[in-house]
Structure 1
């Protein structure tokens, strides 16, 4: 005699969307989001017309920021964007990390001004955790990669 236990799936409580809907959803996410590894690779390669914007306040900026980023706190974007970001450039915004929506707010500000924009997922936190260099007032600093977020011995996760 077999016992059959009915198990309700938490994952499938809401059924997955159609494959066509998934394509549209994930393509839209990639159109508006990027990650720290891709931003790092583009900065290292010197990709033109890409401006990385740190939307944090002055104290956070001085604590450390991405090399090559420009500092434009969110509250100043409307007033200073045209002077800081060349026309036709694609903007990548970042703030502290996944627990902060400052980069989302900054991206919304840039989009409202007509700039093509992407938000860098993970923000400053994951940039640091993946072992990428940070510019401080005393120079470049690099912490070891966190093996929970990046391969310790490799340059990228290969995704």
Structure 2
């Protein structure tokens, strides 16, 4: 074993602490996760509007209870009629392989809204065992043990 070899995980080397603080603080100001959104919604006073930026087919298939349906393409024309301009907005789309929530967040920010993206999207909402609603009612599946702690809405991290 060569002790002088640098770990591939450390190439390039980690940023200086001050740079890391700036990066991670900025990242948290742009993103939130499904567990925090769920806890906020469960409080009864989340302090934000939750926007599902998917198209009609996705909305009909399943959505987070209480979300506002505002497809990204419709944001310039419809945001003002659906969203309070002083209330922050959290956007979501399909999941980590989709940048629809990012595009929606950008479109809303360009209109002057304070906005964050819910990382993981509806995929991780469902995988963590949170309820979804559709035209047939509300459904809740068990949490995927590979993505969420069983029996808890938070990872306690």
Alignment TM-score, normalising by the size of structure 1: 0.95
- Once the two structures are superposed, residues 90-134 of structure 1 have per-residue CA deviations (whole angstroms, 9 ceiling, x without a partner) of 000000000000000000000000000000000000000000000
Partner of residue 155, structure 1 = 153
Partner of residue 38, structure 1 = 36
Partner of residue 86, structure 1 = 84
Segments of structure 1 that go 5 or more residues without pairing to the other structure are none
Distance 2:59 2:121 in 1: 13
Partner of residue 119, structure 2 = 121
Larger Rg: 1
Partner of residue 58, structure 1 = 56
Distance 1:6 1:25 in 2: 29
Segments of structure 2 that go 5 or more residues without pairing to the other structure are none
Other structure's SS at 2:32 match: strand
Distance 1:124 1:132 in 2: 10
Distance 1:19 1:81 in 2: 39
Partner of residue 9, structure 2 = 11
Deviation of 1:155 (Å)? 2.6
Q: How many pairs does the alignment contain?
A: 157
Runs of 4+ in 1 over 3 A off after TM superposition: 3-6
CA contact (8 A) 1:65 1:136 kept: yes
- Once the two structures are superposed, residues 132-154 of structure 1 have per-residue CA deviations (whole angstroms, 9 ceiling, x without a partner) of 00011111000100001111122
